[in-house]
Chains A and B, each alone.
Chain A
Amino acid sequence: MLTIIVFTPLIAALVLFFRKSLNERQVYKTALAGAGASLFLVVCILLGFDTAQPGLQFVATSHWVPALHINYQVGVDGISVWLVALTAFLSVISIVLSKNQKTNLRFYLGLLLLLETGTLGVFVALDTILFYVFWELMLVPTYFLIGLWGEGKRVYATLKFVIFTLVGSLLMLVAIIALSVIHFEATHELTFEIRTLVHTQLDPATQLWMFAFFFMAFAIKMPIFPFHSWLPHTYLACPIPVLIMLTGAMSKTGAYGLIRFCLPLFPEAIHDFGLPLAGLAAVGMVYGAWIAIMQKDIKAVVAYSSISHLGFIALGILAFNTQGVEGSVLQMVNHGIIASALFIIVGILEQRLGTRNLNEFCGLKKAMPVLYGLFMLITLAALGLPGLNGFVGEFLILMGVWESKTLLGLSVIYVLMGGLAIVFASIYMLFLFQGAMQESSNKLPGNLKDINKSEVFVLLPACVLVVFIGLYPKLFVDKISPSAQKVLHMEKLVHQKSEGGGGGHH
């Protein structure tokens, strides 16, 4: 079933690439059908998901490269299932948003679908090589989407983004291969299965460098301060629908990788180095927020606020305890919803007004009352108003940090930095919202129209989720809980040779 979910968009993409005869409407419908079918199946999986079971579900395996024991294996647990759902959801939204893209819609949507496949694949892959392949697969469509359809310094931005990410992913590839080699040395069994490999016991020195490699890859992808410098360029150049996939879904692959690989494999390394790394995350939180305050470009405000929010997520993961990790996973979903909704709004405003500069317009409320209401709700969620979803995630993350054993000593400072970031969030979000919507202006174009039905359609689901997760987070957290516990308390069944000659294997 997961296989179908992952590859339906790919099939749709291939149809788009090779059927030149399709007119624009058919192209759009094909793309929507591909993403829609995928989303529908994801909902089925959510309904069929067994909450009580901590392990992986819906697992499917088949041989891929038998000689090297590389398998095609997919499955979801309580963590990845939400990210899969998020990705499928955002894909549909971004395709609907792309409807008005005029130039070369066929390839544009095809690439978007390809991006969806890559991202979904990363979340469901249970084989390290498969994971790596999907990881790289995400990069290709992004490169073309930004490079060809982007704006401003798009080539510079794309190049920066790709080189940054490639450096990280090559390091990761080295670590992935080394991991299997070490496992082979200990057990004489060659495997690339994540489920087996995570039980490998690594000595501290090995943990250190492998952790460094993995961490670099994920830190760049998320991004974590100070590896973030590709983000503002890329986000500013990126077309809005692609940006939604980028910030909503793809940035989560980095965080997901941290949870899937780093937490179970390198507990000692995190114990030793979690403190300074969490420091980076915390600095990123404040740093992003602080710069966001100074921005006049509404897209840049949201871009820098993303750095701040992703810092929260990284911090929660590095807290290395249940509340922190659960909060982070929930916050990934929250950020995916909120940031994409904000970017949609940014896109609407830019399209209507022809500018993104806050100095050049204000007082849109009168002309756009519906947008005013929706924008306000999203703003409030983004600044973490209790009762809405953002607060639940932030509350859990900071609670995790407060109680964290690995961050002991500095946890108070990190929590206070989180608090500062929240105060700043209220400042920049209000600058953004009030600056755009309130006061009054007579310079606005006279034919300014409120958002239309299809725009409401893409914003409304986000608004509903914002309220729903805020009021009833239990539904979400209950699924995450057992899996988070399992990741945090991975039994070490496979020992390295140096530590007692093998040991039992899985």
Chain B
Amino acid sequence: MGFLALSFLGAVLDKKQVGLVACSAVGLAFLVAFWALTDLMNLEPAERIGHVEVLYPWITSGKFHLDLSVLIDPLSVFMLMIITGVGFVIHVYSIGYMNDDPEYSRFMSYMNLFIFSMSVLVMAADFFFLIVGWALVGLASYLLIGFYSEKRSAVLAARKAFVMNVIGDVGMVVAAYVIFQNFGSLNYVDVFAKAPEMYLPNSDAILLITFLLLVGAFAKSAQIPLHTWLPDAMEGPTPVSALIHAATMVTAGVYLIARCSVLYELAPYTMYLIATVGGITAIFAATIGLVQNDIKRVIAYSTMSQLGYMFLAVGIGMFGLGMFHLMTHAFFKALLFLSAGSVIHGMSGEQDIRKMGGLMAIMPLTFISFLIGSLSLIGFPLTSGYFSKEAIIISAWHAPMGNIFFWGLAVVTAGLTGFYSFRIFFFAFMGKQKDPNAHPHESPVVMTLPLMILAFLSLIAGGLGHDVLEFLSPVFGGHVPPHHEDGLLEGITLTLGAVGVIAALGLYLTDEERVKFVKDMLLPVHEILYRKYYIDELYDFFLVQPTKAIGKFLEEKAERQGIDFVVDQVAEKVKETSEGLSQWQSGKVRVYALNMVGGAVMILMFLVFY
């Protein structure tokens, strides 16, 4: 099993010009992950509890000891399968997409670095290396968002993403301290074994740990209020958006909570917080997605919204369902992004949906993939999204921790999802071409083939639902979550989704004039949504500006006019005093003699009286 890690290390070292090497490295990693999967499948379910492989002792400092080791258990192998599988497909796609870029090899090496880091993250056997992987994926994400480093917006977006992630990292590091202080170890195995015995539900330590970990999870998975970096992250090349900001990295937060399910089950309060934030993020992002015009930004908001679903799922204790949705989402969202990338590629870099149109005939394969992706996203029956999302929405009501509020958030979001996803679909693919200067063309095979693979997975992956839940069950306390059946709720969800689609169709078909009054009426709302609820502006006003102001204050007032000034004043005073004193050294013998006598008297008096 140690080979597993080595093959990933190999993936990083490849900096060859050829995309082939990069792809085969990831492909090889996928095969190894698959091999690990079959290994695990051959074991009896009860024996699949996981296996820690120590590579080398990393540090010993006092009581604190840490080995560099990897954990192979159903959850990590499951994540590895997604990461390397989807990663491989996207690598192949990148060969086509990035073909013209002069820095093609740099791109590929960053992508490999990402796959490596993400593997570290999911294979870590303790919280420390979790943090290492956590920060490394942040780095890879930073590098890839800022890949077009000559573009100012890309540089700013990359910086924003990095700083937000560092905030999350700090939360995780502090969490690690609390864990170490309470459990004397950072290993998952030790911590998870001790936690239920040592702590009652909702005890302070557990709440603190789970909350601090949550800061990291929210930052990485773009949940409110640490979400603003994700839409900006679309500045990166599209394969990056597909791989990192849809399929894998942003789901790390969900993985983290699932990984620590033992701790989170002891902290119902935190769970409620997760579910609430997840639900609110879902609807919040969906509403913003309604009005954006950049095709990638819409999909980015949709990702945020779907991540909200996953958080909702794990927040109500349905860890398996969260992971299942993570998987299906990885397929269909990667598919959507790659299709969008294919559109952008075909349109020579155009991302504004208002300038697209009529692509159905010109890009048939892309059209079909996008359609399948969208259907899966809105949960059209029998697509993969249907199985995973429907299960979450119904659980939001029926699960022990579910309630009508969560369900309401989830189901309204489903309606909004229908609208925004088909709004871009209609705009891009239907009707006539709007920009006479554009010369769209279908993408090469190396790009459409990955689309086909992902489309296939998006269609059929839903059928794996039960297997996934069963496979992962050893990690989540050994029980498969009960399947809730509720025809009525399902009907409501589907109806709302359909209403959303029809509304999008309506918007598309009706001409401008007739809906003008509706538009005018909704204008303020539209403005708020278009400006993303002014969150960026709020951050700027409440965090960025004060930080700058205080920094300026410290520099000018505290430093120059304060500390430094005082020091100089002291020096000045000393100088004055010494000038005064130097008069004693006037060179006049009489004065010296007087002083000597005075001094002698003083010494005598001292001796006599003391």
Contacts and interface: CB of A to CB of B under 8 A. Distances in A.
Interface stretch (A10-18, A42-50, A255-263, A385-393): A385-393
A426 B166 contact: yes
Interface string A321-360: 1110011000000000000000000000000000000000
Nearest to B143: A376
A385 B60 contact: no
Contact of B135 (A163, A385, A427): A385
Nearest to A156: B568
B149 A294 contact: no
Interface in A380-417: 380, 383, 385-387, 391-392, 395-396, 398-399, 402-403, 415-416
A477 B60 contact: yes
A323 B61 contact: yes
In this complex, the member of B63, B159, B552, B571 whose beta carbon has the largest number of chain A beta carbons within 10 angstroms is B159
A58 B60 CA distance: 25
B563 A229 contact: yes
A322 B135 CA distance: 26
Nearest to B142: A430
Contacts of A287: 554, 558
B132 A387 contact: yes
Interface string B141-169: 00000100111100100110011001101
- Classify the interface of chain B: helix, strand, loop or mixed: helix
Contacts, number: 129
A438 B146 contact: yes
Contact of A291 (B139, B162, B554): B554
Nearest to A434: B155
B146 A422 contact: no
A396 B151 CA distance: 38
A473 B61 CA distance: 10
Contacts of B550: 290
A322 B62 CA distance: 6
B150 A398 contact: no
A199 interface: no
Contact of A477 (B56, B61, B150): B61
A323 B64 contact: yes
A326 B61 contact: yes
A365 B149 contact: yes
B170 to A, nearest CB: 4
A79 B134 CA distance: 31
A395 to B, nearest CB: 7
A434 B162 CA distance: 12
A36 B87 CA distance: 48
B57 interface: yes
Contacts of B150: 363, 365-366, 438-440
Interface stretch (B173-181, B325-333, B378-386, B406-414): B173-181
Interface string B477-511: 00000000000000000000000000000000000
A478 interface: yes
A437 B146 CA distance: 12
Given A290-B551, A291-B551, A430-B159, A474 B62 contact: no
> Size class of A's contact patch?
35 or more
B62 A423 contact: no
B131 interface: yes
Contacts of A385: 135-136, 139
Interface string B121-143: 00000001001101110010000
Given A226-B563, A392-B59, A477-B59, 13 more contacts: A293-B548, A294-B551, A321-B62, A322-B62, A385-B135, A385-B139, A399-B64, A419-B173, A434-B146, A438-B146, A438-B155, A474-B59, A478-B60
Interface of B: 56-64, 128, 131-132, 134-136, 139, 146, 149-152, 155, 158-159, 162-163, 166-167, 169-170, 173-174, 177-178, 180-181, 547-548, 550-552, 554-555, 558-559, 563-564, 567, 571
Interface of A: 160, 163-164, 226, 228-230, 232, 287, 290-291, 293-295, 321-323, 326-327, 363, 365-366, 380, 383, 385-387, 391-392, 395-396, 398-399, 402-403, 415-416, 419, 422-423, 426-427, 430, 434, 437-440, 472-474, 477-478, 481
30 contacts: A232-B559, A290-B550, A290-B554, A291-B551, A294-B551, A294-B552, A295-B555, A321-B62, A323-B64, A326-B61, A383-B166, A399-B177, A402-B174, A403-B177, A403-B180, A415-B174, A416-B174, A419-B174, A422-B169, A426-B163, A430-B162, A434-B149, A434-B155, A439-B150, A439-B152, A440-B150, A473-B59, A477-B60, A477-B61, A481-B60
